Chains A and B, each alone.
Chain A
Amino acid sequence: MTTDFTLTCPIPLSDYPNVTLAHGGGGRLMHNLIDKLFAATFARQAVGAQHDGAVFTASAGRMAFTTDSYVVQPIFFPGGDIGTLAVNGTVNDLAMCGARPLYLSVGLILEEGLPMQSLWRIAQSIASAADAAGVQVITGDTKVVDKGKGDGIFINTAGVGVLTHDLNISPLAVRPDDAVILSGDIGRHGIAIMAAREGLSFESTIESDCAPLADSVLALLDAGIDVHCLRDLTRGGLASALVEIASAGGVQVAVDEAIIPVNEDVRGACEILGLDPLYVANEGRYVAFVPPHQAQAACAIMGDSACIIGHVQSGAGRVVMRSVIGADRLIDMLSGEQLPRIC
């Protein structure tokens, strides 16, 4: 990870300690913000910063393109901030297509009054996360909305990536007997955000798992693993990802609750709040569906905390889980957000 960024904000704080409407007004102040804050931050990357768009050379063959918007509150949380999330989320969506992420756009909607120092920290996070994920931020946009009409900052990122293999990675490629591999422990991002948002404190700080997944996925592909399907676990958690794949692929997915890793602090928080970690959000975990004979090799590539949590069976599009006491039950998608229970 590159760490040679400037630690202080280049916009003189005495002049503008907070974002004003004028910073999005198209005049000198906006250009000042772009030149001093964004262009300086993305100097190595922003080939299109001074133009209406970025021009780049595309390779021949298949490409992947995705977009996502980020509205997290609080904007800074243990283990990351909205900037790291905005890069990793889009990088991970490209990675789940089996693509090598190349370029990102970053659109910022700033609320009048956002501390300039916060914007600077977020820009630095975007640059660091992009470096870590091996992508370039090549174009962007900034708008400012009236105070009270935003939530500090909203970010949209879009990403382009290239596919260097000829696999069709999709739920439709999932086959009976495929192994289901989970890349690590679940639920840390959701609990970290909830703890920060609600002022809940636990014995130790639970940090978000926010991380780029492209290197891990590309390592699987480079090793010749016949990857059938990939899905990063975001809102809705592991349960929703498995239900989506089972349903779209028309297969039954059977998993074993006892094998699914959950960090002790996350488990404790879930027990206290009456939440099921299967449905809690993640930002740096994924599941891979691979042929059974390649499961061990894939698991080794995905890292020390990866584990085979189940397998695919022929049958209706549903997910069955063996509970810790050995009884089978269905896993369904939630109708909305999980809500803490009364008692």
Chain B
Amino acid sequence: MKYIDEYRDAAQARRLAAAIADVTTRQWTLMEVCGGQTHAIVKFGIDALLPPQINLLHGPGCPVCVTPVSLIDKAVALAGHPDVILTSFGDMMRVPGTTGDLFSAKAAGGDVRMVYSPLDAVQIAADNPHKQIVFFAVGFETTAPANAMAVYQAAQRGLHNFSLLVSHVLVPPAIETILSSPDNRVQGFLAAGHVCAVVGYEEYEPLAARYRVPFVVTGFEPLDILHGVYMCVKQLEEGRAEVENQYARCVRREGNMPARRLVDDVFTVVSRQWRGIGHIAGSGLALRPAYADFDAERRFGLAAETVEQVGACISGLILQGIRKPAQCPAFGRECTPERPLGATMVSSEGACAAYYRYRRLETQEES
């Protein structure tokens, strides 16, 4: 398939892996901050091609994993409302809240619909004028433009029965939280290509300078990731800490200006709770006052926070790269995709779920 097969070529992958081995003279710890990259690394076995000195950590890049339990509880509560059609992306359906997930809410009689685009939810609102349609707006900068467009279109079309349950988070503040932690082990980052396709990579430049760490904006195919690792290791070996762009076929320094303008028009930056990590200042998006009518929390009076998870789960440490999934005593035992104890086991992009799915026996043998 064009634009796919070129980036999955086995011979090229071996050449890049050899080039990485050639430039590597010591131990380096890198982190990718995108669930799509984590998924690709374990699915294609990319880490198996790397020299043993390169340690890949999987950062807080899965929007499903970092969505706080309180927001999922709110979505489940809304789904139980007889006038509400709760719409969501597919992979939010199975994420457990305090009392259950959206699949359970659907089984209990709630009208829960999986959509492929927030604009589909806007159309459901137009088609069901006597119902309240709520879209569960989860994601990083990548999904923000489409969610902003949904609100913008609903406003243009005068659809007063449409609202967003917003749980948007932003990558750079999370990276800064990791870098400023005394436990930080990360020496270089693979920045998420799709996030940067929207917002560009100017924001990473002060982080690279302040913390003296290289950033490489990286794509999602095996050769992209190997190339990103190569560029990052090369910077580290040469003592550089710059922001470089491996994913130039999709990403410009300034990002996608029309998308950024739309996001800026609809959303404003706020503090957000991250599941497993806690509050991070300036790390999320909320609807601007001009669009407050489209805020589901306001419309349905959902203000109360519920208690965040406690117990055996160490997903906070995993999301920050301090531990790997197999180092958790509950991994693959009390905690499985069928009965997840925490954030990183619930979504297919979560590091624990990806490890469980693709390498379960190896990790059991290791531990």
Question: Residues on A close to B: CB < 8 A?
Answer: 198, 200, 258, 264, 267-268, 271, 273-274, 276, 316, 318, 323-330, 332, 334-336, 339-343
B337 touches A342 (CB 8 A): no
Pick the contact of B361: A258, A330, A342 (CB < 8 A).
A330
Residue of A267, A316, A327 with highest tally of chain B CB at under 10 A? A327
Taking CB atoms, residues of chain A closer than 8 Å to B116 are: 198, 200, 273, 340
A343 to B147, CA, bound (A): 13
The answer to whether B359 and A329 touch across the interface, beta carbons within 8 angstroms, is: yes
Across the two chains, which residue of chain A brings its CB closest to B362?
A: A330
Q: A325-B46, A340-B116, A341-B348 are in contact. List 13 more A-B contacts (CB 8 A).
A: A267-B1, A325-B9, A325-B44, A326-B14, A327-B46, A328-B48, A329-B43, A329-B45, A330-B360, A332-B360, A339-B93, A342-B143, A343-B194
- Selected from A318, A326, A335, A342, the residue in CB contact (under 8 A) with B338 is A335
19 contacts between A and B (CB under 8 A): A200-B116, A267-B1, A267-B4, A271-B1, A271-B4, A323-B43, A326-B13, A329-B43, A329-B44, A329-B45, A329-B48, A330-B361, A332-B358, A339-B91, A339-B94, A340-B91, A342-B64, A343-B142, A343-B143
> Which of chain B's residues 1-55 have a Cβ closer than 8 Å to chain A?
1, 4, 8-10, 13-14, 36, 42-46, 48-49
Interface pair B222/A325, CB less than 8 Å apart: yes
Contact of A330 among B10, B64, B337, B359 (CB under 8 A): B359
Q: Which residue of B lies closest to A332 (CB)?
A: B357
A325 to B49, CA, bound (A): 9
Complex: chain A residue closest to B9, CB-CB:
A325
Residue of A nearest to B44 (CB): A323
Which residues of B approach A to under 8 Å, CB–CB? Answer: 1, 4, 8-10, 13-14, 36, 42-46, 48-49, 63-64, 89-94, 114, 116, 138-140, 142-143, 194, 222, 336-338, 348-349, 356-362
**Secondary structure at chain B's binding surface: helix, strand, loop or mixed?**
helix
Q: Which of B89, B94, B360 contacts A340 (CB 8 A)?
A: B89
- In the complex, chain A residues whose CB is within 8 Å of the CB of B143: 342-343
**Minimum C-beta distance from A24 to chain B (A):** 26
Given contacts A318-B361, A330-B362, A335-B338, contact A324 B10 (CB under 8 A): yes
Contacting pair A341 B361 (CB below 8 A): no
Q: Is the CB of B362 within 8 A of A343?
A: no
- Are B45 and A328 in contact, with the CB atoms below 8 A? yes
Chain B residues within 8 Å of A336, by CB: 94
Q: In the complex, what's the smallest C-beta–C-beta distance from B155 to chain A, in angstroms?
A: 24
- Quick check: B337 and A341 within 8 Å, CB to CB? no
Chain B contacts for A198, CB-based, 8 A: 116
Contact present for B14 and A341 (CB under 8 Å):
no
**How far apart are A281's CB and chain B's nearest CB, in angstroms?**
16
Q: How far is the CA of A336 from the CA of B45 in the complex (A)?
A: 23
A186 to chain B, nearest CB (A): 15
Query: Shortest beta-carbon distance, B91 to chain A, in Å?
Result: 5
Complex Cα gap A342–B137 (Å): 10
Which residue of A316, A327, A342, A343 contacts B48 across the interface (Cβ within 8 Å)?
A327
Structural contact, A340 and B114, CB atoms closer than 8 A: yes
User: Which of A316, A324, A335, A340 is the one whose CB lies under 8 Å from B44?
Assistant: A324
Check A268 against B1 for contact (C-beta < 8 Å): yes
B141 smallest CB distance to A (angstroms): 10
Whether the pair A341, B44 counts as a contact (CB closer than 8 A) is no
- Of all chain B residues, which has the CB nearest A318? B361
CA A334 – CA B360 in complex, angstroms? 13
- Once the chains bind, are A343 and B36 in contact (CB under 8 Å)? yes
Q: Which residues of A contact B43 (CB under 8 A)?
A: 276, 323, 329
Q: A325 with B361: in contact, given A339-B90, A343-B63 (CB under 8 Å)? A: no
Instruction: Name B192's closest neighbour in chain A (CB-CB).
Output: A343
Contact (Cβ within 8 A) B358 A325: no
Question: CA of A186 to CA of B329 in the docked complex: distance in angstroms?
Answer: 38
B21 shortest CB reach to chain A, Å: 15
In the bound assembly, the distance between CA atoms of A335 and B9 in angstroms comes to 30
Q: Given A342-B91, A342-B138, are A323 and B114 neighbors across the interface (CB < 8 Å)?
A: no
Known: A200-B116, A327-B46, A343-B143. A258 touches B10 (CB 8 A): yes
- Alpha-carbon separation in the docked complex, A273 to B116 (Å): 8
> Across the interface, which residues of A come within 8 angstroms of B10, CB to CB?
258, 324-326
- Chain B residues with CB under 8 Å of A329's CB are 42-45, 48, 358-359
Which of B1, B89, B222 is the one whose CB lies under 8 Å from A342? B89
Q: Which chain A residue has the least Cβ–Cβ distance from B42?
A: A329
Known A198-B116, A326-B14: A341·B90 in contact at CB below 8 Å: yes
| A323 CB, nearest partner CB in chain B, Å | 5
Q: How far is the CA of A343 from the CA of B197 in the complex (A)?
A: 13
Q: Bound state CA distance, A340 and B93, in angstroms?
A: 10
State A258–B91 Cα separation when bound (angstroms).
27
Chain A residues, CB < 8 A from B361: 316, 318, 330
Question: Which interface residue of A274, A326, A335, A342 has the most chain B CB atoms within 10 A?
Answer: A342
Q: Which residue of A lies closest to B10 (CB)?
A: A326
Q: Name the residue in B139, B338, B357 with the highest tally of chain A Cβ atoms < 10 Å from its Cβ.
A: B357
Q: How far is the CB of A73 from the nearest CB of chain B, in Å?
A: 14
CA distance A334 to B362 in the complex (A): 18
Q: A81 to B359, alpha carbons, bound, how many Å?
A: 38
Q: Out of B36, B45, B140, B356, which one reaches A327, CB within 8 Å?
A: B45
B94 x A323 contact (CB < 8 A) = no
A74 to chain B, nearest CB (A): 16
Chain B residues in 8 Å Cβ range of A341: 36, 89-91, 348-349
For A272, give the chain B residue with the smallest CB separation: B116
Q: Is B4 a contact partner of A325 (Cβ separation < 8 A)?
A: no
